[in-house]
Amino acid sequence: MGDRYKVMIIDDEQSARNLLKGLINWDSLNMEFVGEAASGIEAINVIDDMRPDIVFVDISMPFMNGIEFTETASERYPGLIFIIMTAIDQFEYARKCVSLPVFEYMLKPMVRAEINEVLEKAKNKLEKEGERVDYDRGEAETDSSEENSMDRIKNYIENNYKDSKLNLAFIAGEFGFSASYLSRRFKQETGKNFVEYLTECRMEHAISLASKGTKMFITSSEVGIPDPNYFGRCFKKYAGMSYSDYIQNANKAN
């Protein structure tokens, strides 16, 4: 049967993500759940590590909705299958986005039989075409012009980390590398993976703003993570405390 097809779920409601995960019979479909995201912003940051073949995307999410995510991701990941989830009052709006390469639109609340039917169709498409999502396109050969490329890429990140759509696939395309090649080379050169380095740049700036008492929603937008929930998790992981606690400690120190 070959490798299992990988499925990712993007929805800002955790209960909806949990329900969808529970409704899918992964083994019978030869599929596996590889991860989730609570917003398009978070998905842009984690998709390169998850490398899904199929994504369920809720149309209504704050900071980057499902349509915006699909527009961005479809350019970067040819062959990725998008299944848009939408409430009935947004269905016609979703259907009007005919220029997007959406495989299927599904009305919420979804039921198991409909989900399995759509996933079977998606699996048939993937098997018929015989190709997985091309995360490795444009593999570059190492040559003399590449010697300073990692320094150039690090400088690019440091100058552009405020762009919320920045991720590994985008940078790879900008510099003419495949995403997988850049990922390996970046780790070899810097000792950190791409997302760690990008997040570190963002969190260093966030800490400087927090030290000045800047409100979190302003800081999160300023550093390229306008989704405050995802920003909050990134900040706490990096700083070892919540944003509000960091501000309190900074105030005490002053």
Gap between the Cα atoms of 62 and 92, Å rounded? 19
Q: Which residue has the tokens 């999502």?
A: 133
pLDDT at 101 over 80: yes
Distance CA 150, CA 156 (A): 10
Write phi, then psi, for 104 (nearest 5 degrees).
-160, 150
Q: Whose structure tokens read 């149309």? A: 59
SS3 57: strand
Domains of the chain: which residue ranges? 5-129, 144-253
Instruction: Provide, rounded to the nearest whole percent, the portion of the chain with pLDDT above 90.
Output: 71
Mean pLDDT of 30-58: 96
Report the percent of the chain where pLDDT is more than 70.
93
CATH code linked to domain 144-253: 1.10.10.60
Over 90: is that where the pLDDT of 95 sits?
A: no
Q: Are 167 and 186 in contact (CB under 8 A)?
A: no
Residue 209's pLDDT is 96
Helix boundaries (H) for 59-133: 66-76, 91-95, 112-129
Q: What is the mean pLDDT of residues 53-77?
A: 93
pLDDT tens per residue across span 128-186: 988 788 777 655 547 545 557 889 999 999 999 999 999 999 999 999 888 888 999 99
Residue 221 is predicted with a pLDDT of: 96
Report the pLDDT value the prediction gives residue 165, as an integer from 0 to 100.
95
Mean pLDDT computed over 80-91: 87
Mean pLDDT, residues 75-90 taken together = 89
Which fold would CATH assign to domain 5-129?
Rossmann fold (3.40.50)
Counting Cα atoms < 13 Å in the Cβ hemisphere of 181 gives: 18
What pLDDT digit, counting tens, does each position of 202-227 carry? 999 999 999 999 999 999 999 999 99
Q: What is the pLDDT, as a whole number, of residue 27?
A: 93
Dihedral Cα 158, 156, 182, 219, nearest 10 deg: 40
Instruction: Quote the mean pLDDT of the chain.
Output: 90
Average pLDDT estimate for 172-201: 92
Which amino acid is located at 122 in the chain? A
Alpha-carbon distance of 13 to 38, in angstroms, equals 7
